[in-house]
Amino acid sequence: MTVVGPFGLSVRDQALEADVQAGLTAVEEGLLEATKSEVPFITEAAQHLVRAGGKRFRPLLVMLAAQFGDPYAPGIVPSAVVVELTHLATLYHDDVMDEAEVRRGVPSANQRWGNSVAVLTGDFLFARASHILADLGPEAVRIQAEAFERLVTGQILETAGPRDGRDPVEHYLDVIGGKTGSLIAVAGRFGAMMSGADETVVDVLTQYGERLGVAFQLADDVLDIASDSTESGKTPGTDLREGIPTLPVLRLRERVERLGLAEDIALSELLDSDLTDDARHAEALSLLRAHPALEQARRDTVRYAQEARATLAPLPEGDAKAALVELCDLVVHRAG
């Protein structure tokens, strides 16, 4: 059994391990090639997060999904590069919106070069992804465009907040379905589609990616509260400081509405206060780490991971399916 990729997947079959490792290596080379520019400063900025590393979760899913067809088909690696470039581009933009200072254990691009350079670098990565997509055919372009629309819509909905009468938790799950689930669904879809897998397999892996993507983001929400910066690669409680209500906070507010306990109300009021103050932020983070709302968010993560696992039932048994099942376990483990 060998650990494959930064995400920590263990693969039992040597042939599958070799295929996935070779694919991820080719993706890494493709990312560096796609982020080169004739202008050295653009190359430096565009490769800033590529060279910082990362889990490469989306390319890994592309490689595993491709095992249900021809894993050596020519469109697989480029499609994985497209998905990861798109993801990286959103990180540059997210860090500007969140005023984040750290990403993947290094200073964020906006911290290092300012907001304008960070936004434009994200745009540069989107452009490079589109250039690669053009060679993968009109269907791939359409799929990516639809996912990108959902991604942006999710970001806008997060900014706008739930409409009157809408359950905040349901609204939030819709938001992350767009922001995170849509692109991870594309990873599963591209891997299967580019490998020539049967259409039913493509559909299964698309649904799997969507549910796993939601679980992945919920695990990040938990990790942002529960971990230190060494584990998560970014400043803990970033969303708290920026006043962005992720699932643990929403579950706390839900509990306030349902039970009205004084300690819950006090914590909710603290979270609604100005958390740019370091002492207040540290107190809020400490209290939320010990609160039942965080455990509820963990259970939500497990539920979505279990739904992802359940979608795999129609796929043929084998090492590729076992690896996809293990991905569900790894996502849950991150939230543990």
pLDDT surpassing 90 at residue 196: yes
pTM for this predicted structure:
0.91
The per-residue pLDDT for 99 is 74
Q: By the 8 A CB rule, do 188 and 60 touch?
A: no
Task: Name the residue among 88, 176, 94, 95 with its Cα closest to residue 129.
Answer: 88
Average per-residue pLDDT for the chain: 91
Confidence band of 7 (pLDDT split at 50, 70, 90)? low
Query: Which CATH number does the domain housing residue 16 bear?
Result: 1.10.600.10
| Domains identified in the chain, total number | 1
The per-residue pLDDT for 5 is 61
Choice among 24-38, 92-106, 115-129, 297-311 with the minimum mean pLDDT: 92-106
Q: By the 8 A CB rule, do 83 and 182 touch?
A: no
The per-residue pLDDT for 227 is 79
How much of the chain is helix, strand and coil, in % rounded to 5?
75, 5, 25
pLDDT surpassing 60 at residue 230: no
Confidence band of 9 (pLDDT split at 50, 70, 90)? confident
The per-residue pLDDT for 2 is 59
For residue 38, give its domain range. 2-335
Q: What is the pLDDT of residues 283-312, one digit of tens each?
A: 999 999 999 999 999 999 999 999 999 999
Task: Name the residue among 246, 219, 215 with its Cα closest to residue 311.
Answer: 215
Confidence band of 1 (pLDDT split at 50, 70, 90)? very low
What's the mean pLDDT in 229-251?
A: 78
Instruction: Give the end-to-end CA distance of the chain in Å, rounded to a whole number.
Output: 23
Q: By the 8 A CB rule, do 217 and 180 touch?
A: yes
**CB-side exposure of 218: number of CA atoms within 13 Å?**
35
The per-residue pLDDT for 4 is 65
Q: What is the pLDDT of residues 20-51, one digit of tens each?
A: 999 999 999 999 999 999 999 999 999 998 99
CA dist., res. 299 & res. 218, Å (int) = 10
pLDDT surpassing 80 at residue 324: yes
Task: Name the residue among 304, 222, 292 with its Cα closest to residue 258.
Answer: 292
What's the mean pLDDT in 314-333?
A: 93
CA dist., res. 120 & res. 89, Å (int) = 9
What's the mean pLDDT in 101-115?
A: 85
pLDDT surpassing 80 at residue 161: yes
